[in-house]
Structure 1
């Protein structure tokens, strides 16, 4: 019983740093045997969300939970993409129906309807906003051309610049490319 309590504490600590979620991989890297997670779930200490993904049931909900879940479902190397980055940061009037997640590697997880998976080229890089891997704001704004009105994108870019999410060089590049 003492071992279970210790494992529960370790798993809980990991989950609270990830919006309430923990993967089997995270737990095993922290020294919790993989067989303990289903046991904790059976006793109510965790909820099984998907294969290898669990949630602490008493984690306080945040606006970022579904973004974190989408990234963890896709797995290592995944990051938010396009409109999802803008939605995460509250830039512009963006409310996508699905969370766009990009990955550089081949991934075939079973995904719920709220997640859209995109394979991207090797050169793309990710940044972290609110602790979640994401496409840079500049690249996300440019990615949304043709799907979001030009003026709305310019307003979002101005808001991002005001919030310190774009450097001067990024701001100038985004403004120029969106307007053209």
Structure 2
């Protein structure tokens, strides 16, 4: 029976870089105590409260980003701000922390790890995309968030140019993004 549970978990984790949450497992009728048992046996690694990684899953450079989206209890977060720019790989940004958007109504009931920044914002479905299966704010929304957060103009201009050339921004969106960045240039922000 353990083999069948492990296979069920593998199937659940397949689209999540090897990660599974207690909520995902419960939806598949796998009780949380089974995850704890599998972690004790070494088949799962406990990443954070309610988030596990299947040990037999090959590691990926994007693992930490997927784990971050699964960290908020009860829902999947969306990567945003400079983290989203990094995931899109449209500029030379190197974020120091992982920015995660969750709905305004979501209450975080535990200490937020120092590597995460939680943004309470109600995103519309049209503002969310995925890169490599990882939920992320669309590039125009990402650029708008980064303008508001004070990300360097050079990096944002790079993001617009590369995003446009790669088809991540439509020409209309590129114009909007450029207009968002432009007032900063005249004000001397870099």
TM, length-normalised to structure 1 = 0.90
Match of 2:166 among 163, 170, 179: 163
Report the counterpart of residue 140 of structure 1 in structure 2: 142
2:148 is aligned with 1:150: no
* Alignment: residue pair count: 178
Structure number with higher helix proportion: 2
Contact kept in structure 2, 1:106 and 1:119, CA below 8 Å = no
Report the counterpart of residue 8 of structure 2 in structure 1: 10
SS in 2 for 1:74: coil
Q: How far apart in 1 are the matches of 2:19 and 2:90?
A: 25
5+ long unaligned stretches in structure 2: 184-190
Say if 1:64 and 1:122 are closer, same or farther in 2 by CA, change over 3 A. Answer: closer
Report the counterpart of residue 84 of structure 1 in structure 2: 83
Alignment RMSD (CA, Å): 1.8
Contact kept in structure 1, 2:93 and 2:155, CA below 8 Å = no
Q: How does 1:100-139 map to 2 (within 5 A)?
A: 100-104=99-103, 105-121=106-122, 125-139=127-141
Report the counterpart of residue 64 of structure 1 in structure 2: 62
5+ long unaligned stretches in structure 1: none
Q: CA deviation at 1:127?
A: 2.1
Q: How far apart in 2 are the matches of 1:45 and 1:152?
A: 42
TM, length-normalised to structure 2 = 0.86
